[in-house]
Amino acid sequence: MAETVTVKVTVNGVEHEARVEPRMLLVHFLRDELDMTGTHIGCDTTNCGACTVLVDGVPMKSCTMFAVQADGHDLTTVEGLGDNGGLEPIQEGFHQEHGLQCGFCTPGMMLVSKALLAENPDPSEAEIRRAISGNLCRCTGYQNIVKSVQYAAKKIRTGSAESTVGGGAS
Amino acid sequence: MSATKAQDIGGLGHSVRRKEDARFVRGKGRYVDDVKLKGMCYLALVRSPYAHARLKGIDISAAMKVPGVLAVITGKDLEEAGLAWMPTLSHDQQMVLATGKVLFQGQEVAAVVAESRFAAADGAAAVRVDYEELPVVIDPHAALGKDAPVLREDRDEKSNHIFHWEAGDRDATDATFDASDVVVTQDMVYQRCHPAPLECCACVADWDTVNEKMTIYMTSQAPHAHRTLFALVAGLPEHKIRIISPDVGGGFGNKVPIYPGYVVSAVASLKLGRPVKWTEERSGNLQSTGFARDYHMHAELAASKDGKIRALRVKTLGDHGAFNAAAQPSKFPAGFYNICSGSYDLENAFVEVDGAYTNKAPGGIAYRCSFRVTEASYLIERTVDVLADELGMDPAELRKKNFIAPDKFPYVTPLGWTYDSGNYAGAMDRALEMVGYEDLLKEQEEKRGRGELMGIGISSFTEIVGAGPGKQCDIAGIEMFDSCEVRIHPTGKVLARIGVQTQGQGHETTFAQILAEELGIPVGDITVEHGDTDTAPYGLGTYASRSTPVAGAATAVAARKVRAKAQKIAAHLLEVDEADLEWKDYAFRVKGAPDKAKTMQDVAFAAYTNVPEGLEAGLEAVDYYDPPNMTYPFGTYICVVDIDKGTGDWKVRKFVAVDDCGTVINPMVVEGQIHGGLTEGFAISKMQLIDYDEGGNITGGNFMEYLIPTAVETPHYDTDKTVTPSPHHPIGAKGVGESPNVGSPAAFVNAVIDALSPYGVRHIDMPITSDKVWKALRDAGIQD
């Protein structure tokens, strides 16, 4: 068996400790060791962003980090969004504005958007497009993802937001 | 009893928010790679670095010594089991693991199974393969040359020619061409590209040694068809095979065929008696699974001087790579390519297509396309613009002059299809109005005066989807019907299962809406399931925009069968004759006394508690729907681009899409499909290319080289619709998922060419990258 080292990370507020091979990627650690399969793998080359998580609040592609590099850090994955089954604004935005189809890019898209809104509560469309440009989506053409982020921004700022796609909510 | 309204129950035409979102926004989707079974081991593939080489030997000894490696499987092992080759969906066969020689770079040569995915990868790296390189054939024209090496030694035919296929009347078309004032010709290549759904292919094969049953979790767009194929190929009894296609992270045609990774995983699970997971890497996905297009097309149009298009003549060479693994109905070697007469009322047309083998990955599959319709639509819409240029006519005016008139439907085309319904001028007029066409023409004239490059591109496409009538369309002999099974529980809640499989289209919501509309039961009380062959009725799967046209029809008809029985029970409850009842405002109502009524929920309870004599209990039905015809969605797309003369980069300033897909089930979902399809069309027109160098090395085999548009370069779209229902579909729906990908590439390309047309540019092949535009500008001597 290959040499292993100890990794201690906090994921969604819960501390985890495990022994892993030094070469194990953070995304495999999350998916295979912690069974948090909401973080996805869509490429081998750090292009697609399906594996995006927040490391100390900063979006990182978890296929570009070794698990050992996350040692001592505070991670947020899609499983950490919302509360007691309820949706937080970014999740509600994606649902209301039809910002997802197959759902594969969605966790990464929501996390990178959450990080954007933490820094910039009222981003322009161009700022949103720039912020999500490290994350690929093959289904939506991004237009409704932009609206989803705008919905969440408004909800966070004002406490309410109205859906605009498909003739409004139904 | 007050009337229920459509919006109360989420019936047709309402933007019901999707049920499936609840799990996806919480990270609780279950994709194949998320499946983890007790005792599961992992499979990695060894791939060929050469495009054409003889296999001199495979040494697995080092691989077997890698800690954790359990088995190495080679083509020889499969040969002994009779599984070294598998049939394709196009009357060909494909190697599962190479024997004799390899025929394309990335081809599957061996499989390593190990305790972990890392050990499997280490083992794969340790397999030593001895190759002897052979001459490589990349160009399909060269492949048909006399001196070309014959690639396929397993075939009786000693050539690289696969098939010849034609449609239409050659002599009559030639005669019309000879008698016409104007003839234009254009060669164009629809490049090799790849659907690249964000989730790659994957499976977990789980052989149950006790019950001798094989369960395969699989990224499948067609689970039932795959079950039957597994039964036929592997010789396992079909009731002992269960395919589960759980959440699928996009398909776009990529997940229609069976790939070697699936087969060898099943073999490995049989061999080891343990579950085996194979998860494709992105490079493997792009390099070896279903590529699309690679159609080398020659188009000719004949017209009168005043712009009446009279005939179309097309000659095409299709490059299928090493194996003809096109996934399409078996009687159509070039798919529905003969839809290429498009939206136009022609006197005659003739199309011929030949297929060729090359040392490239096998295919070609229908990428967000109903079997070669994208190629056909691009060909006609591009060539009509070439004709407009030749005649000096406005492209919109030329199209309108030649549209099939609304009163001519059903319309039989010279290439043999019967279009169900259409109003092409209606969609175009709306698009012209939305884009502000007249103002744009004025602006363009002014800009041209200043030497600025602005282009307007139009595409007025007609699609053919909903395969299809069983007598015409089959997959491996199985007629292309589709199905729905509806069961209403005593308390009026519904479970429905469908034969098609969603990969993001939202079937769990939209099919529930069809049932809500037909049964008067709120959409929230209806669960739609799919993708498990042990529970869902047999269906042919989701591709070619066939879900709504075929399974959607089955769903409406199954609900109507339920309603027919329910009406008898309602009559019993109301103590009236069945004939005195009508289904109105979502309830059975006594004619002339609409307040005397029973809802489906009332009836459902009675179906289990108070059935009239002579009627069996329960309330359920199943329908296997064989459509009488295809459906023919259409629309007009208009694209406006500005070109930077210094760099050759083109930017989409405005894009208007007017689609007509007949009756709309969920406007929000339809709009989402259109946004996504337009973006794939944009990607194909601007960046997506799977290319090979002379040695057969792929130059688009990962996401650093195979470019996918990001949110920054993707345009904003303005969408609208016209509604021309299909006369033969139970709810008038036509299907929409592929229209935007079929119709839009021509709009993008036509816009770029229009911008360059003052400088004599008539065509540039896709993808139109900045450097191609820059070179065209340089050649025209107008570089900044």
Q: How confident is the model at residue A168 (pLDDT cuts 50, 70, 90)?
A: low
Instruction: Tell me if A108 is assigned to some domain.
Output: yes
CB distance A45–B18 less than 8 Å? no
* Chain B residues near residue A130 by CB distance under 8 angstroms: 711-712
Q: Quick count: other Cβ atoms within 10 Å of Cβ B686? A: 23
Q: What integer pLDDT is reported at residue B1 of this predicted model? A: 58
B41 within 8 A of B113, measured Cβ to Cβ: yes
Transcribe B149-189 into DSSP letters. Answer: PP--TTSSS-SSEEEEEEEE-HHHHHHHHHT-SEEEEEEEE
Average pLDDT over residues B747-772: 97
Per-residue model confidence as pLDDT tens digits over B299-341: 999 999 999 999 999 999 999 999 999 989 999 999 999 999 9
Q: What integer pLDDT is reported at residue B390 of this predicted model? A: 98
Spatial separation of the C-alpha atoms in residues B727 and B734, rounded to whole Å: 10
Asked if the C-beta of B200 comes within 8 angstroms of chain A's C-beta atoms, the answer is yes
Spatial separation of the C-alpha atoms in residues B160 and B163, rounded to whole Å: 10
User: Domains in chain A: how many in total?
Assistant: 2
A78, A105, A141: residue with CB nearest B27? A78
CB distance A43–B503 less than 8 Å? no
Q: A67 by DSSP, 3-state: which?
A: helix
Given A54, A80, A106, the domain boundary residue is A80
Per-residue model confidence as pLDDT tens digits over B367-386: 999 999 999 999 999 999 99
* Same-domain pairing of A93 and A76: no
Per-residue model confidence as pLDDT tens digits over A49-61: 999 999 999 999 9
CB distance A101–B672 less than 8 Å? yes
Average pLDDT over residues B428-457: 98
Give the containing element (helix H, strand E) for B130. strand B128-133
* Chain A residues near residue B200 by CB distance under 8 angstroms: 42
Q: B190 has which bridge partners?
A: B295
Which residue is it, tokens 């070469």? Answer: A23
Q: How confident is the model at residue A170 (pLDDT cuts 50, 70, 90)?
A: very low
Asked if the C-beta of B66 comes within 8 angstroms of chain A's C-beta atoms, the answer is no
Q: How many helices (H) and strands (E) does chain B have?
A: 20, 33
* Same-domain pairing of A110 and A57: no
* Same-domain pairing of A30 and A60: yes
* Same-domain pairing of A32 and A70: yes
**Tokens encoding B329:** 């109905």
From B677's Cα to the closest Cα of chain A, the distance in A is 8
CB distance B676–A21 less than 8 Å? no
Asked if the C-beta of B198 comes within 8 angstroms of chain A's C-beta atoms, the answer is yes
Q: How far is CA B738 from the centre of its chain?
A: 7
Nearest partner of B519 among B541, B476, B488, judged by Cα: B488
The DSSP secondary-structure symbol of B612 reads P
B17, B23, B676: residue with CB nearest A96? B17
B509 within 8 A of B523, measured Cβ to Cβ: yes
B133 within 8 A of B70, measured Cβ to Cβ: no
Residue B2 clears pLDDT 70, i.e. is over it: no
Per-residue model confidence as pLDDT tens digits over A62-112: 999 999 999 999 999 999 999 887 999 999 999 999 999 999 999 999 999
CB distance B505–A101 less than 8 Å? yes
Spatial separation of the C-alpha atoms in residues B637 and B679, rounded to whole Å: 13
Q: B291-467+629-779 architecture in CATH? A: 2-Layer Sandwich (3.30)
Chain A residue nearest residue B35, CA to CA: A37
* Chain A residues near residue B504 by CB distance under 8 angstroms: 100-103, 139
* Chain B residues near residue A149 by CB distance under 8 angstroms: none
Which residue is it, tokens 């098939």? Answer: B163
Residue A167 clears pLDDT 70, i.e. is over it: no
CB distance A165–B671 less than 8 Å? yes
Would you state the torsion angle of the CA atoms of residues B734, B88, B56, B270, taken in this order, to the nearest 10 degrees? 100
Q: What integer pLDDT is reported at residue A1 of this predicted model? A: 53
Residue B713 clears pLDDT 50, i.e. is over it: yes
Instruction: Tell me if A163 is assigned to some domain.
Output: no
* Same-domain pairing of A101 and A147: yes
Q: Quick count: other Cβ atoms within 10 Å of Cβ B456? A: 24
B3-7 contacts, C-beta under 8 A, 24 or more apart: B3/B585, B3/B586, B4/B520, B4/B585, B4/B586, B4/B587, B4/B599, B6/B517, B7/A170
Q: B445 by DSSP, 3-state: which?
A: helix
Do the two domains B6-28+481-625 and B291-467+629-779 of this chain adopt the same fold? yes
CA distances from A43 to A105, B43, B286 (A): 12, 18, 10
CA distances from A27 to A132, B254, B277, B405, B742 (A): 19, 25, 17, 57, 36
**What's the domain range around A65?**
5-80
Active site residues of B: 221, 368-369, 738
Instruction: Tell me if A118 is assigned to some domain.
Output: yes
Instruction: Tell me if A145 is assigned to some domain.
Output: yes
* Same-domain pairing of A111 and A72: no
CATH fold label, B6-28+481-625: Aldehyde Oxidoreductase; domain 4 (3.30.365)
* Same-domain pairing of A62 and A110: no
* Same-domain pairing of A93 and A127: yes
- Per-chain mean pLDDT for chain B: 97
Transcribe B180-221 into DSSP letters. Answer: -SEEEEEEEEEEEE----SS--EEEEEEETTTTEEEEEE--S
* Same-domain pairing of A58 and A120: no
Q: What integer pLDDT is reported at residue B272 of this predicted model? A: 98
From B104's Cα to the closest Cα of chain A, the distance in A is 21
Q: What integer pLDDT is reported at residue B784 of this predicted model? A: 58
CB distance B198–A136 less than 8 Å? yes
Instruction: Tell me if A95 is assigned to some domain.
Output: yes
From A72's Cα to the closest Cα of chain B, the distance in A is 24
The residue type found at B364 is: G
Per-residue model confidence as pLDDT tens digits over B473-529: 999 899 999 999 999 999 999 999 999 999 999 999 999 999 999 999 999 999 999
Query: What ipTM goes with this model?
Result: 0.98
Q: What integer pLDDT is reported at residue A169 of this predicted model? A: 47
Percent of chain A exceeding pLDDT 90 equals 92
From B750's Cα to the closest Cα of chain A, the distance in A is 21
Q: What integer pLDDT is reported at residue B233 of this predicted model? A: 86
Instruction: Tell me if A73 is assigned to some domain.
Output: yes
Q: B624 by DSSP, 3-state: which?
A: strand
Residue ranges of the domains in chain B? 6-28+481-625, 32-134+200-248+255-288, 291-467+629-779
Average pLDDT over residues B118-122: 97
Spatial separation of the C-alpha atoms in residues B350 and A16, rounded to whole Å: 67
* Chain B residues near residue A25 by CB distance under 8 angstroms: none
CB distance A102–B675 less than 8 Å? no
Per-residue model confidence as pLDDT tens digits over B559-599: 999 999 999 999 999 999 999 999 999 999 999 999 999 99
Instruction: Tell me if A63 is assigned to some domain.
Output: yes
**Tokens encoding B393:** 């006519």
Instruction: Examine residue B410 and say whether the peptide bond preceding it is cis (omega within 30 degrees of 0).
Output: yes
First-to-last alpha carbon distance for chain B, in angstroms, is: 75
Q: What integer pLDDT is reported at residue B7 of this predicted model? A: 82
Q: B32-134+200-248+255-288 architecture in CATH? A: Alpha-Beta Complex (3.90)
**Tokens encoding A28:** 């495999």
- Per-chain mean pLDDT for chain A: 95
Mutation target vs A (from B25, B666, B687; most A CBs, 10 A cutoff): B25
Average pLDDT over residues B705-730: 98
**Tokens encoding B155:** 């075939």
Spatial separation of the C-alpha atoms in residues B627 and B209, rounded to whole Å: 41
Where residue A109 sits, what CATH number does that domain have?
1.10.150.120
A74-76 and A5-11: which strand pairing?
parallel
Which residue is it, tokens 């394309």? Answer: B104
* pTM greater than the 0.90 cutoff: yes
* Chain A residues near residue B34 by CB distance under 8 angstroms: 31, 37
Q: Quick count: other Cβ atoms within 10 Å of Cβ A32? A: 18
Q: What integer pLDDT is reported at residue B201 of this predicted model? A: 98
CB distance B198–A129 less than 8 Å? no
Spatial separation of the C-alpha atoms in residues B710 and B407, rounded to whole Å: 43
Q: What integer pLDDT is reported at residue B6 of this predicted model? A: 77
The DSSP secondary-structure symbol of B764 reads -
The DSSP secondary-structure symbol of B252 reads T
Mutation target vs B (from A43, A64, A77, A146; most B CBs, 10 A cutoff): A43
* Same-domain pairing of A74 and A104: no
Q: What integer pLDDT is reported at residue A89 of this predicted model? A: 98
Given A46, A80, A114, the domain boundary residue is A80
* Same-domain pairing of A56 and A11: yes
Give CA angle at B379 (B768, B744), nearest 5°. 60
Chain A residue nearest residue B279, CA to CA: A41
